[in-house]
Amino acid sequence: MNTLAALHDLTGKTAVVTGGSRGIGRAIAGALAEAGADVVVASRKLDACETAATEIAKESGRRAEAVAFHAGHWADCDRLVGETLDRLGRLDVLVNNAGMSPLYTDLTGISEELYDKTLAVNLKGPFRLAVLAATHMAEHDGGSVVNVGTAGSLTASTRELPYACAKAGLNALTVGLAEAYAPKVRVNAILPGPFATDLSRGWAPEDPDEAPFVPLGRMGRPEEVAPLAVHLASAASSFTTGAIIRVDGGITRKV
């Protein structure tokens, strides 16, 4: 194994990926397994998690577990960490990827329920889960937390304002936790821009390879985020913490 490959090797590590059954989360979970990690796929729908876990195990030869989990519920965050340790015996990498961006007609039409749910899934739950995971990592062999936010947190479009507010909080959480759990735990964030996933079908162009509003001229693909997550999870990024990295095709190049 060459030096670069060795730095990215996650053999013997256990990674938890929330929202890991589809889209960007599924790509990250698969990439972490390919790098050698055992993986826990966590999302609301157990059957989708089980399908993804079975596929990942078959493709990578690594162990993959499925856990039903709601990112907005603190009790589920506690249970996810507990089940990971019970089943796999360790926790080295957390990817806080679960999120939601509900549609609304106008700002005055946003209900308290919608606002609270958006903040819970995108910020409250990730806060609790990251604190639990990082505390465990700091008390053991160290580790890495990767928060998946959005480039929209830097621009705050009125079409997704509660979501952008929550993800801006996730940026702040990343910086704060990087200080709180150093030196044994590194905490970084990835900010995807417009990506072609099932969640973007409501607003994305019909042809994802034709997106003139993106400087690179197209939508991103989930597999274009996954290698960065592996990098941040591994020893290859051993001097990187508190970083907020944009993967957005240049959308926020002037922000």
Structure token digits, residue 41: 């796929």
Q: For the purposes of burial, counting CB atoms within 10 Å of the CB of 161, is it exposed (0-12), middle (13-18) or buried (19 or more)?
A: middle
The H or E element containing residue 15 is strand 14-18
**Any catalytic annotation for residue 163?**
yes
Q: Specify whether the backbone of 135 is left (phi greater than 0), alpha (psi in -120 to 50) or beta.
A: alpha
Report the alpha-carbon distance of residue 202 to residue 221 in Å, rounded. Answer: 16
CA atoms within 13 A on the CB side of 50: 4
104, 115, 163, 181: the catalytic one is 163
Q: Are 53 and 65 in contact (CB under 8 A)?
A: yes
Angle at 165 between CA 91 and CA 100, to 5 degrees: 60
One-letter identity of residue 83: E
- The residues annotated with a catalytic role in the active site are 163
